[in-house]
Structure 1
Amino acid sequence: MLEMFSLKGKVAVITGASRGLGRTMAKGLAAAGAHVVLIARDKAKLDAVSSEIAADGGASTVLPIDLSDERAIRTGVQSIAASLGRIDICVNNAGIINWQPVLESDLEEFDRTMDTNVKATFIMAQECAAVMRKGGEGGRIINIGSVLSTVGRAKLHAYCASKSAIVGLTRSLAAELGRENITANVIAPGYFVTDINASVTGREGYVEAVSGVTPMERWGEPQELVGTLIYLASGASSFVTGQVIHVDGGISSTFKFQLAA
């Protein structure tokens, strides 16, 4: 039964693999048996993750790419296919976030967020899907959304728009690629203890406030995303596509607040 969750012999590509949730997910894919291609801009940080994977007995390849560069993405994916012979799993995790009041926001920053979070995801998925189709064995596209894929948040209009777009993009991919045995799904994390949240976790009372409206009354640990990732990347999810799976302690589906004692 557990063999259906194995990724042995598979090649997995993951963006934003140098830190945070991406680093943890990359290590999880390798632990499940995949050869993991680590993508981000910082080669030194990617090398560090690759060394950790090797120390745990896994296999990985480092591929530094600036995801704002379309040609670099397309050339990079083609180089993976040429060197490793296949791509079975594409995890689009890289993303940026920027807090700006709507009346003080500039279009340049909005465009940068959309380009990184949505455009790069589309290009990566497009290129990987082409390799998967050519291979004839199908594949898995897993896009990382957010709890803010389905709810809004003040001062995060560009980020919310980008993560909502990820859901629409993924469902369209699922509709078109299903006949090729290529599935497309979204993992929507809630609040996790990672460095991308460092700018807000230092605010007095912020951590407690988020915990207070989360049914599990705590923040998630990065490792808690790995099980969902492996499920969607493996044969266990062979008839699951076009779905959004929230891994958020229940925050997106409940109305919870703390009353004073």
Structure 2
Amino acid sequence: MDLDLKGRGVLVTGASKGLGRAAARALAGEGADVLAVARTEASLRKLAEEPVLGKIHPYVCDMRDRAQVAALADVAVERLGRLDVVVNNAGIAPAANFLEMDMAVFDEVMEINVAAIAVLSQAAGRRFVEQGSGGRIVNIVSTSGILGKAALAAYSASKGAAIQLTKALAAEWARHDIQINAIAPGAFSTEAQAYVTGNPDILAKRVRKIPARRMADPEEFGPLVCYLSSTKAKFVSGAVYVIDGGETAKQ
């Protein structure tokens, strides 16, 4: 299926590693021109050197700085010539017993995982309306925002908030031909899960909770991002797509 992504301008945050990197590679593989945003310049430049159909443009941004985040939509238009899609992937997930958590950490999680999505979505939404050609936003949330996870109270709360923001904006902006959806990944073999994947006993225990009896490869994430970023999904909005090997389905 031709997803008609060739030449499209796409902005992906948290693109230097993990699922963000997989999303950027998949979109560029479909011919999109991608502004890959993260804090680590070296990783971004390495990503930009990979052979893909489209082109990957590295750009360093601190997602805790609202002014920098708000400017990303304009940067995308400047670097790519246009902006059609935003993939809000950047996020942090510090684990802590909530009774002992420093509320400054809670605030940082909310700033990066919720406020940055809101700020960038507003900037992109204004650009989409100004262009008059619609647009798409894909928010990467988590199954933790659906079920809640012990020791991840701040993260779970932030992802739950991001899910509701997705639905609210989808309802508000549909008349502008702007589609907004969320993807809730479960267990993927990324750098963030190195502690699990590097310990056979912990990995076996984790996998037993997943009906598919395995963790997913990051490359399995990209196709869904591409579909929701494409014009083929123009009547899909406000949805939350769970990709977790059936883990939340059994709850």
* Counterparts of 2:98 and 2:52, CA distance in 1: 46
* Counterparts of 1:28 and 1:125, CA distance in 2: 21
Alignment of 1:171-182 (within 5 A): 171-182=167-178
How far does residue 200 in structure 1 lie from its aligned partner after superposition? Answer: 3.8
Structure 2 residue identity aligned to 1:244 = V
Pairwise CA RMSD? 1.3
Structure 2 residue matching 1:188: 3-state secondary structure: strand
2:34 and 2:80 in contact (8 A); partners too: no
Structure 1 residue identity aligned to 2:17 = R
How far does residue 197 in structure 1 lie from its aligned partner after superposition? Answer: 1.4
Aligned length: 251
Give the alignment's TM-score, normalised by structure 1. 0.93
Alignment of 1:131-210 (within 5 A): 131-203=127-199, 205-210=201-206
2:10 is the alignment partner of 1:12: yes
Choose which of 241, 246, 249 in structure 2 pairs with 1:245.
241
Q: Deviations over 1:112-150 (max 9, x none)?
A: 111111111111111111111111111110000111110
How far does residue 85 in structure 1 lie from its aligned partner after superposition? Answer: 3.2
* Counterparts of 2:112 and 2:192, CA distance in 1: 15
Q: Deviations over 1:184-209 (max 9, x none)?
A: 00000000000011234445622112
Which residue number in structure 1 is paired with residue 81 of structure 2? 85
1:24 and 1:226 in contact (8 A); partners too: yes
2:6 and 2:54 in contact (8 A); partners too: no
Choose which of 49, 65, 79 in structure 1 pairs with 2:47.
49
Which residue number in structure 2 is paired with residue 58 of structure 1? 54
Structure 2 residue identity aligned to 1:252 = T
* Counterparts of 1:231 and 1:76, CA distance in 2: 23
Give the alignment's TM-score, normalised by structure 2. 0.96
* Counterparts of 1:176 and 1:85, CA distance in 2: 27
* Counterparts of 2:62 and 2:85, CA distance in 1: 20
1:167 and 1:186 in contact (8 A); partners too: yes
Gapped regions of structure 1 (runs ≥ 5): 256-261
Structure 1 residue matching 2:16: 3-state secondary structure: coil
1:86 and 1:135 in contact (8 A); partners too: no
Which residue number in structure 1 is paired with residue 38 of structure 2? 40
* Counterparts of 2:27 and 2:182, CA distance in 1: 16
Larger Rg: 1 or 2?
1
Structure 2 residue identity aligned to 1:82 = E
Which residue number in structure 2 is paired with residue 31 of structure 1? 29
Which residue number in structure 1 is paired with residue 223 of structure 2? 227
* Counterparts of 1:222 and 1:20, CA distance in 2: 7
Q: Deviations over 1:48-94 (max 9, x none)?
A: 10101xx2342121111001011111223212223433210100001
Structure 2 residue identity aligned to 1:37 = L
* Counterparts of 1:32 and 1:47, CA distance in 2: 20
How far does residue 213 in structure 1 lie from its aligned partner after superposition? Answer: 1.5
* Moved segments of 4+, more than 6 Å: none
Comparing 242-251 and 200-209, the one that deviates more: 200-209
Structure 2 residue matching 1:36: 3-state secondary structure: strand
Q: Percent identity?
A: 38
